[in-house]
Chains A and B, each alone.
Chain A
Amino acid sequence: MMNYLTVPRSVLLSGAFLSAFILGAAAQQAADPPAAAQAPAPAPAAGAPPPAGTAASPSLPPGSPLIGRPAGNDAAAKLAPIAPPPIPAAPDKLPTAKLKVPAGFNIEVYAAGMANARSLALGDKGTVFVGSRLVDKVYAIVNKDGKREVKVLASGLYRPNGVAFKDGTLYIAELSKISKIEKIEDNLDNPPKPTVIFDKLPKDEPHGWKFIAIGPDNKLYAPVGQPGNNVLNDDEHGLIRRMNFDGSGAEVIVRGVRHTVGFDWHPETKQLYFTDNGRDWMSEDVPEDELNRITKVGEHFGAPFCLQGNIVDPEFGWGKSCSEYTAPAGLLGPHAAALGMRFYTGNMFPKAYRNVAIIARHGSWNRSKKVGGDVVIAKLNKDGTMKSLEPFLTGFLEDNKYIGRPVDVLPMKDGSLLVSDDYNGAVYRITYGKQKTAGKS
């Protein structure tokens, strides 16, 4: 029995078999469920308790973030989530000189000194709002007499990752509530405390931090992630919701979303595209993160039953088929942590960039050879699916270690692009062509 099981395990893990496995072997994969990503268990030493997650000791507890992690595997044991340094890098210590952009583009530091700088939003008067996840602050990058200045707008918040701006009002999403500050750009020096507009949200930490944005339908969109690496979602998890600006009229529009930390509406079709992070500990190479597209209210995007549109989950996929769920518009790399994404509609970049999706990939931790830690360009086909994925901003990964990690992207009115980096607590600006303010070329 054990021998029979170990053969497909190793085969499944081999890269050569991988593409065949993804394309056509769903049935075969379903024949060997939770073991798919597990190395054969070593024989226990006499008297030692049996290792967990094996036939001898069947279970990690349900919901454990470590389900699927091979026991006694040295390479897997080296992997752990990577925490950014708590103190933002000094402007002269930022890795700007090591960052690479395509020919003709320039990159410079836009602002620094914002610990754990995460999601970005743009005010009508040019203020850039910056959320954070591991500290308690929302920042504003303010232009004043031609100089940029960083202000702390709010502190004492809990995981205030999400920021959005509309008609003078700043919206802030913490772990379990959404609040607003009206007339924010008139009160940057002494802003009032945020007022809560919606707090009927679960308090789970895993995937609890939120990206928010405002749609062309004048609704505020807010997701709730799956409360663990690979767990079932109840009605309150694994979804995207929209609501009016005062928190009323809230409705869940889609489910089966594991954790989206970035979305935007296509400039022409107005369809919502969102990134979604795939599960950990299944294998080095699958599942990949997804770029998804909502075509109608009520769609289910698969999590945790179907992964990347064509793999039934080894644990939860029993009795399910990927055909029951909306397939991704494109795949964004295994464990790559695709976070912020926005469509580019500006005039500064060359024509080829018109309406492309610009995606920040925070970079993997659950993979021996890191993937991501870059900003990529997704071009779409006429039917709205992804045509290609190309590198745009690279250089954050050095000797398989991060020297920075991009989180969000934000096109500015002049057509330049901002990129946040929570590892260094900074925001960079990418421009095209000869710029008066450009840094290195």
Chain B
Amino acid sequence: MRKTTTALAYALIATSVSAEPIEQRIAPCLACHGEKGQSETENTPSLGAQHAPYSLIQLFMFREKLRVVEPMNEVTKALTDDDLRLFSDFIAKMPKPEPPGENGDPARMQRGQALVQQHRCDSCHNGDLSGKENVPRIANQREDYLAKTLGEYKDNSRHGYDASMADVMAPISPEQIADLAYYIARMR
């Protein structure tokens, strides 16, 4: 099913003409990333209210294969600079993701919160982890995607645009990554 959707997305984005309204062009993206800014697809990030400068950098990196995620490299391949800007600007206006309905386990929540403070995530991502400019909104991002991304920054398999996250992640353990992702996904 996932494969089919992705294949469909390639086809649609690649053939879509820039004359089409953005709502139509971005629809295949949202099939995986969530129509209301909130992703329900495993390991696939919610895009809602993501800052345009950050999204633009990621889309550019996908297109140039500086960040390797095959489906994303494929769908961005034929996009122009203006397309990248258009998509980034549209994403920024979608509603931000919401925390899950249930409160998290208090002990884990507290551990995660302490780690956020200890590692000064707020230093770049803001106190509420809403991000700014080239620093992404991470509050209420999917837990699986957060854990995966933090792990990839730590082992440098995801090359950041600059070195900031590799620098920050160096001293953080895998257990701590799990608690961080748990908390950030559920924070209110």
Contacts of A207 in B (CB 8 A): 163
Contacts of B100 in A (CB 8 A): none
Residues A84-111 near B (CB distance < 8 A): 85-87
B53 interfacial by beta-carbon distance below 8 Å: yes
A356 interfacial by beta-carbon distance below 8 Å: no
Stretch touching chain A among B6-14, B26-34, B57-65: B57-65
* B123/A76 in contact, CB under 8 A: yes
A203 interfacial by beta-carbon distance below 8 Å: yes
Contacts of B164 in A (CB 8 A): 65, 80-81
Stretch touching chain B among A56-64, A120-128, A335-343: A56-64
A23 interfacial by beta-carbon distance below 8 Å: no
* B167/A228 in contact, CB under 8 A: yes
* A80/B132 in contact, CB under 8 A: yes
* A85/B166 in contact, CB under 8 A: no
**Interface size (B, Cβ < 8 Å)?**
39
Nearest-neighbour CB distance to chain B for A144, whole angstroms, equals: 25
The one of B85, B120, B162 in contact with A60, judged by C-beta atoms closer than 8 angstroms, is: B120
* B53/A85 in contact, CB under 8 A: yes
A52-B117, A135-B64 given; A65·B168 CB < 8 A? yes
* A64/B171 in contact, CB under 8 A: yes
* A229/B167 in contact, CB under 8 A: yes
Residues B133-176 near A (CB distance < 8 A): 133-135, 156, 159-164, 166-168, 170-172
* B64/A52 in contact, CB under 8 A: no
A66 interfacial by beta-carbon distance below 8 Å: yes
The one of A76, A135, A208 in contact with B163, judged by C-beta atoms closer than 8 angstroms, is: A208
B130 interfacial by beta-carbon distance below 8 Å: no
A49 interfacial by beta-carbon distance below 8 Å: yes
A188-212 near B? 1/0 per residue, CB < 8 Å: 0000000000000001111110000
* B167/A206 in contact, CB under 8 A: yes
A43 interfacial by beta-carbon distance below 8 Å: no
**28 sampled A-B residue pairs with Cβ under 8 A:** A48-B113, A51-B117, A60-B119, A60-B120, A61-B172, A63-B170, A64-B119, A65-B164, A66-B123, A69-B120, A77-B126, A80-B123, A81-B164, A82-B134, A83-B57, A83-B162, A85-B57, A86-B56, A87-B85, A134-B161, A203-B156, A205-B156, A205-B160, A205-B163, A205-B166, A206-B163, A207-B163, A208-B163
Given A134-B161, A205-B163, A206-B166, 11 other A-B contacts at CB below 8 A?
Answer: A53-B120, A57-B118, A60-B118, A60-B119, A80-B135, A81-B124, A87-B56, A87-B85, A205-B160, A207-B163, A229-B167
Q: B: which residues have CB within 8 A of A? A: 53, 56-57, 60-61, 64, 66, 81, 84-85, 110, 113-114, 117-120, 122-124, 126-127, 132-135, 156, 159-164, 166-168, 170-172
Q: A: which residues have CB within 8 A of B? A: 48-49, 51-53, 57, 59-66, 69, 71, 76-77, 79-83, 85-87, 133-136, 158, 203-208, 228-229
